[in-house]
Amino acid sequence: MTDEFLIQATGLTRQYKMGTATVEALAGIDLQVRAGEFIALMGPSGSGKSTILNIIGGLDRPTSGEIWVNGTELSKAGEKALVAHRRNRVAFIFQSFNLLPRLTALENVELPLVLASVNPRERWERSISALQQVGLTERLNHKPTELSGGEQQRVAIARALVANPMILLADEPTGNLDSARGAEIMGVLRNLNRNRGLTLLVVTHDPEVAGYADRTIRLRDGRILPSEAG
């Protein structure tokens, strides 16, 4: 790995067993991402987009190859190092908002800090700050059923931000939203990328969503199309 890149994958493969068949989700990926870049990953279903996110996020390991993130080689890292990576470096945003329905917006955002045993005053301050960054200071005490889809996704983004990650990994973040709410969410993500310097990787099928990115990488059959490498 070189210091030039925050994320660097070389010869990355991932195979899964499905009964007696072997499915090749990634078939030799080379990928480099600089700190602060906004990358869109596009391709048909089964092309390997979400698998890349899961490996970068430390939720999955490659079958072969290397994946370096901020100086840590994740394919060889022990479980303790992977837990620290997931807790301190990366955060996920999903198509489904995954909010707990009985908790308010503020309580949902605080939850990762509760689990990390952060003291109540600090977690309140950090959660309020995160909700301010996504424009939800007027909805702190509302539960998910009292929020629109776009507002729920903003809460999910704030929950991702509260741990101060360096990388945001978003898997179809506008998939459950109409075009207007989707544009609002992409505006929020782009502002976080620009203003906080967060490195952002977004999986999408939507060319309009990809249009917010600095660079689009297209995949097919577990491979990056040649013109998109690097």
Q: pLDDT digits over 179-194, tens only?
A: 999 999 999 999 999 9
pLDDT over 90 at 221, yes or no: yes
Please identify which residue in the block is written with the tokens 């620009």. 194
Q: Model's pTM, two decimal places?
A: 0.91
Q: Is CATH 3.60.70.12 the classification given to domain 36-63+72-228?
A: no
Q: What is the pLDDT of residue 19?
A: 86
Q: What is the pLDDT of residue 172?
A: 94
Q: What is the pLDDT of residue 227?
A: 66
pLDDT over 60 at 78, yes or no: yes
Q: How many helices (H) and strands (E) does the chain have?
A: 7, 10
Which of 162, 211, 10, 131 minimizes the C-alpha distance to 202? 211
Domain boundaries along the sequence of the chain: 36-63+72-228
Residue 1: pLDDT band with limits 50, 70, 90? low
Task: Measure the CA–CA gap between 83 and 77, rounded to whole angstroms.
Answer: 10
